[in-house]
Amino acid sequence: MKPIKVFDIFKVCAEAIINGVLIQQVSRTDKEFHFQNWFEARLSETGVNFDKSGRNSYPDFALVAFTEGYEIKGLAWPGRESTYDCNSQVPTGFHNGRDVIYVFGRYPPADDASREYPVIDFVLCHGDFLNADHDYKHKNKSVKGFGSYGDIMIRDRKMYVAPTPFAIADGLTGTRTLVIPSAWTKPTGLKKVGTLNRVETVSLVVGYEFDLKTNEITPKTMLNPSAGTIHSFDAYRLDKDSDKPVILSEVEPDPATDDWEC
């Protein structure tokens, strides 16, 4: 089986949180990259070589000698926690030849004096835990001829709203957890705290129509040929960390009821 570096990266991150390594906010206007900078420092501690992607590229970090990429999702807490916005990139577990690992960290608002704060809870999860489809290719399209003079273009720029691991599973709050496919090599120095089986849905959204007069959007669906397929994932923590079990939530996350912005 191919080399897997995610185990070492998770251990370094979990140890740092336990040891009180804080997120450092560079300035009061730094509302986006402070958690990403924290994770980048942990990557450097492992000694692994990586490339840092530019703004709006995917994923945020790509390892050099390992076929792994890391996408960072920081979440302020208390606040929005059930869903997050995926700017022009639907979550996936495989992209451009790499397994994609999502890095979720929740943190409190920064103190105005010190501008530093802890990571409250932390999840590294394989992208397939969020969405197992590897075939969808995102593209933005446009249509011309809108407006009274027919010279306005409408750009279809898709935004995806996906559930976070905190909405998909219970037992992650206040903990440091790794979620990987059950078929992967079992890690050493970590204990298993749960198995999570996600089941593919009966129908798939394959398109949509938007009525400019009524402002109504209507999805187009088809039967999922893989309906009922089970994707199994195992949850792990450091041996010395919490034994709190991780199980699938009984409440399905609903983006329409969460506090999100277009």
Range 149-165 average pLDDT: 90
**pLDDT of 110:** 63
pTM tops 0.75? yes
Beta strands of the chain (E only): which ranges?
A: 23-24, 50-52, 61-63, 68-76, 83-87, 94-95, 98-107, 116-117, 121-126, 141-146, 152-156, 159-163, 169-170, 176-181, 190-199, 203-211, 216-223, 230-238, 247-248
Q: What are phi and psi of 220, to 5 degrees?
A: -110, 130
Range 162-171 average pLDDT: 95
**pLDDT of 32:** 61
Sorted by where each begins, the domain ranges of the chain are 6-199+228-257
User: 27 falls in which pLDDT band (50, 70, 90)?
Assistant: low
**pLDDT of 260:** 42
Q: Which tens digit of pLDDT belongs to each residue from 181-238? A: 999 988 899 999 999 999 999 999 999 999 989 999 999 999 999 999 999 999 999 9
Which of residues 177 and 258 earns the better pLDDT score?
177
Q: Between β-strands 98-107 and 121-126, what pairing exists: parallel, antiparallel or unpaired? A: antiparallel
CA angle 13, 100, 179 (to 5 degrees): 55
User: 177 falls in which pLDDT band (50, 70, 90)?
Assistant: very high
Looking at every residue in the chain, the average pLDDT score rounds to: 88
Q: Which tens digit of pLDDT belongs to each residue from 72-108? A: 999 888 877 889 888 778 999 999 999 999 999 999 8
Cis before 109 (ω within 30): no
Strand partners, 208: 219
**pLDDT of 46:** 95
Range 170-178 average pLDDT: 96
CB atoms near residue 112 (< 10 Å): 7
Range 139-151 average pLDDT: 89
Tokens describing residue 170: 């219970």
Measured distance CA(21)–CA(231) in Å, rounded: 34
